């Protein structure tokens, strides 16, 4: 079982290999383009009508002859003193060449809302506003820190209407209309929070130029952990990606103080029992077979400091921890400390991530209840 997972993190391509692959792809695209134009040219040649101006014409009938004239044929050229009759223009039926015309820009993609904002439970409304998760919203409501239309509400299931005014901790909140999705390649020595009372550097110090300040990280990375971090003001997506039932995949590159021994490798693959319960990685392998201090690990658990605690449980000291993948997002083409907006395709994939898996899980639970 362990050997099958070794190759998951090996086989990294060098810069030379990447450039050669890009060169070959470019060459292939050029050949396909030339073949396409040659095919179009051949099709147009077939469709073009034959030019009959210089073909031999049949002699004119008797009604057109005179005493001194002989029947004219198409081969006879008029003398230089005779006025040449204007030739009839041949109407070409060749299709218009549209190869080099600019294509229409694709229409913007809009994401369909599954449910209306009206009649929304209070804790869900607070989460959609990007204040916190639904679970944390329940705690805020029970702590009497939430007012609806000036009245304190302590019931998380209280229904919110479109025209209701909701205040949390003295600040009026509203569902975000312009949703923002940002991928950050987090560097070291930055904490994953919007502000810090101790004055330490936060990830928000790196987010200069963002159109809105009300964005929050999805999950957390330790101060010394680097790599992929998603920030958004989409409370619904944040709740989804943070919930354990969606089993969001995360891949880390771990640098240890000493090589990972084979026995410890097997122990970790079989699972460990930590102070907060049992945990086993989804996959484990050496990122570099020549350097067994560097290990790749794939998990879907969202427990606090879980990767560090797994290796520390076996007596290893984690010198470096870098998240290289979160859900379907990687830090490719994003330098350390830099960020970029997600494109529409990436957002769509995140919204439908593991949806079929969760649906099957819910159907299975429903069947078990019916059997009971």
CA pair distance 311, 120, nearest whole angstrom:
43
Contact between residue 342 and residue 183 where contact means Cβ atoms under 8 Å apart: yes
> Which residue's structure tokens are 């362990």?
2
CA pair distance 300, 242, nearest whole angstrom:
10
CA pair distance 295, 187, nearest whole angstrom:
20
CA pair distance 78, 108, nearest whole angstrom:
64
How far are the Cα atoms of 128, 214, 215, 299 from residue 179, in angstroms, in the given order? 11, 10, 9, 28
CA pair distance 243, 232, nearest whole angstrom:
16
Q: Name, in order, each residue with C-beta under 8 angstroms of 57's C-beta and a sequence gap of 6 or more.
A: 73, 74, 75
Q: Name, in order, each residue with C-beta under 8 angstroms of 38's C-beta and a sequence gap of 6 or more.
A: none
Q: Tell me the CB-side half-sphere exposure of residue 269, using CA atoms within 13 A.
A: 19
CA pair distance 114, 111, nearest whole angstrom:
9
- Bridge-based pairing of strands 216-217 and 250-256 is unpaired
Q: Name, in order, each residue with C-beta under 8 angstroms of 298's C-beta and a sequence gap of 6 or more.
A: 8, 249, 250, 251, 252, 281, 282, 283, 284
234 among known catalytic residues: no
Buried b (16+ CB within 10 A) or exposed e, 343-361: eeebbeebbebbeeeeeee
Contact between residue 327 and residue 241 where contact means Cβ atoms under 8 Å apart: yes
Selected catalytic residue, list 222, 264, 282, 288: 222
Q: What is the DSSP string of 2-20?
A: HHHHHTTS--PPPHHHHHH
**Which residues are designated catalytic?**
222
């Amino acid at each position: 079982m362990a050997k099958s997972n070794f190759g998951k993190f090996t086989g990294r391509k060098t810069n030379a290999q990447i450039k050669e692959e890009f060169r070959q792809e470019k060459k292939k695209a050029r050949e396909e383009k030339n073949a396409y134009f040659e095919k179009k040219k051949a099709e147009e040649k077939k469709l073009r009508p034959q030019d009959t101006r210089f073909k031999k014409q049949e002699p004119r009938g008797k009604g057109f002859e005179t005493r001194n004239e002989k029947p004219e044929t198409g081969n006879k050229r008029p003398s230089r003193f005779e006025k040449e009759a204007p030739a009839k223009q041949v109407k070409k039926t060749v299709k218009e060449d549209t190869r080099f015309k600019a294509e229409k820009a694709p229409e913007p993609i809009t994401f369909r809302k599954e449910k209306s904002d009206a009649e929304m439970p209070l804790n869900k409304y607070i989460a959609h506003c990007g204040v916190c998760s639904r679970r944390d919203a329940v705690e805020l409501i029970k702590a009497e820190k939430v007012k609806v239309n000036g009245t304190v509400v302590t019931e998380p299931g209280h229904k919110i209407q479109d025209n209701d005014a909701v205040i949390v901790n003295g600040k009026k909140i509203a569902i975000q209309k312009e949703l923002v999705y940002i991928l950050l390649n987090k560097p070291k020595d930055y904490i994953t929070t919007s502000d810090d009372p101790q004055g330490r550097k936060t990830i928000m110090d790196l987010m200069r130029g963002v159109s809105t300040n009300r964005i929050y990280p999805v999950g957390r990375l330790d101060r010394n952990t680097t790599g992929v971090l998603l920030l958004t003001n989409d409370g619904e997506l944040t709740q989804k990606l943070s919930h354990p039932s969606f089993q969001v995949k995360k891949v880390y590159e771990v640098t240890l103080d000493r090589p990972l021994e084979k026995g410890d490798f097997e122990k970790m693959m079989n699972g460990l029992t930590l102070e907060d319960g049992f945990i086993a990685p989804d996959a484990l392998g050496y990122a570099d077979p020549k350097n067994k201090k560097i290990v790749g690990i794939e998990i879907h658990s969202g427990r606090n400091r879980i990767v560090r605690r797994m290796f520390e449980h076996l007596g290893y000291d984690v010198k470096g921890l870098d998240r290289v993948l979160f859900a379907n997002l990687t830090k490719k083409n994003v330098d350390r400390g830099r960020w970029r907006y997600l494109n529409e395709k990436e957002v769509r994939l995140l919204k439908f991530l593991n949806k079929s898996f969760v649906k099957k899980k819910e159907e299975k639970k429903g069947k078990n209840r019916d059997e009971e």
